[in-house]
Amino acid sequence: MSLIGIDLGSSAIKVAAYSIEGRLLASARRSVPATHNRDGHSEIDVRESREAFDSALGEVAAHPELRRDPPIAVSFSSSGREVFPVGADGTPLGPCLMTADLRGDEVASVTAGRRSPEEWFRVAGHVPRRMDPVNRALWWRKTHPDVAAKARWFMNWHEYFSLHMTGKRVVDWSDAGAWATYDVATASWSPERIRETGIDPRWLPDIQPNASPIGRIEKSVAERHGLPPDTLVVTGAWDAFAAAVGGGGVDPGVVSLTCGTWHSFTAPIERGWPEALLHDGMNICPHPGPTGFGLLHTNPNGTSVIDWARELLQMPITELEEGLAAAPSEPSHVYADAMLTPLPHASGSERSSVFSGFTLASTRIDFVRALLESIACEFAATIGRLRERGIDTTLVRATGGGSKLAWWLQLHADVCGVPFEVVAQDEPGAFGAAVLAGVGVGVYPSVSSAVEQLVQVSRRFEPDCARGAKYLKERRR
**Residue 404 and residue 398 in contact, taking contact as beta carbons nearer than 8 Å:** no
Tell me phi and psi for residue 395, to 5 degrees.
-160, 140
Q: What pLDDT score was predicted for residue 344? A: 65
Identify the CATH class of 248-424+445-477: alpha beta
pLDDT in tens, 420-450: 999 999 999 999 999 999 999 999 999 999 9
Give the β-pairing of 2-8 and 71-78: parallel
Burial of residue 180 (CB within 10 Å: 0-12, 13-18, 19+) is buried
Q: Which of 353, 357, 359 is nearest to 340 (CA)?
A: 353
Q: How far apart are CA 353 and CA 341, in angstroms?
A: 8
Q: What pLDDT score was predicted for residue 231? A: 98
Q: How far apart are CA 238 and CA 79, in angstroms?
A: 6
Is the pLDDT score of 177 beyond 60? yes
How confident is the prediction for the chain on average, in pLDDT? 94
Mean pLDDT over residues 383-407, rounded?
95
Is the pLDDT score of 164 beyond 80? yes
Q: In which band, very low, low, confident or very high, does the pLDDT at 99 lie, cut at 50, 70 and 90?
A: confident
Q: What pLDDT score was predicted for residue 166? A: 98
| CATH 3.30.420.40 domain residues, the chain | 2-239, 248-424+445-477
Is the pLDDT score of 174 beyond 90? yes
pLDDT in tens, 181-195: 999 999 999 999 999
Tell me phi and psi for residue 11, to 5 degrees.
-125, -10
pLDDT in tens, 71-86: 999 999 998 889 999 9
Q: What pLDDT score was predicted for residue 348? A: 46
Is the pLDDT score of 116 beyond 80? yes
pLDDT in tens, 244-275: 999 999 999 999 999 988 899 999 999 999 99
Q: In which band, very low, low, confident or very high, does the pLDDT at 238 lie, cut at 50, 70 and 90?
A: very high
Q: Which CATH architecture has domain 2-239?
A: 2-Layer Sandwich (3.30)
Q: What pLDDT score was predicted for residue 351? A: 60
Q: What pLDDT score was predicted for residue 350? A: 55
**Residue 101 and residue 175 in contact, taking contact as beta carbons nearer than 8 Å:** no
Q: In which band, very low, low, confident or very high, does the pLDDT at 197 lie, cut at 50, 70 and 90?
A: very high
Q: What pLDDT score was predicted for residue 261? A: 87
Q: In which band, very low, low, confident or very high, does the pLDDT at 387 lie, cut at 50, 70 and 90?
A: very high
Is the pLDDT score of 349 beyond 60? no
Q: In which band, very low, low, confident or very high, does the pLDDT at 473 lie, cut at 50, 70 and 90?
A: confident
pLDDT in tens, 21-69: 999 999 999 999 889 888 889 999 999 999 999 999 999 999 999 999 9
Q: How far apart are CA 96 and CA 137, in angstroms?
A: 11
Q: What pLDDT score was predicted for residue 453? A: 96
Q: What pLDDT score was predicted for residue 346? A: 55
pLDDT in tens, 276-307: 999 998 999 999 999 999 999 988 889 999 99
Is the pLDDT score of 310 beyond 80? yes
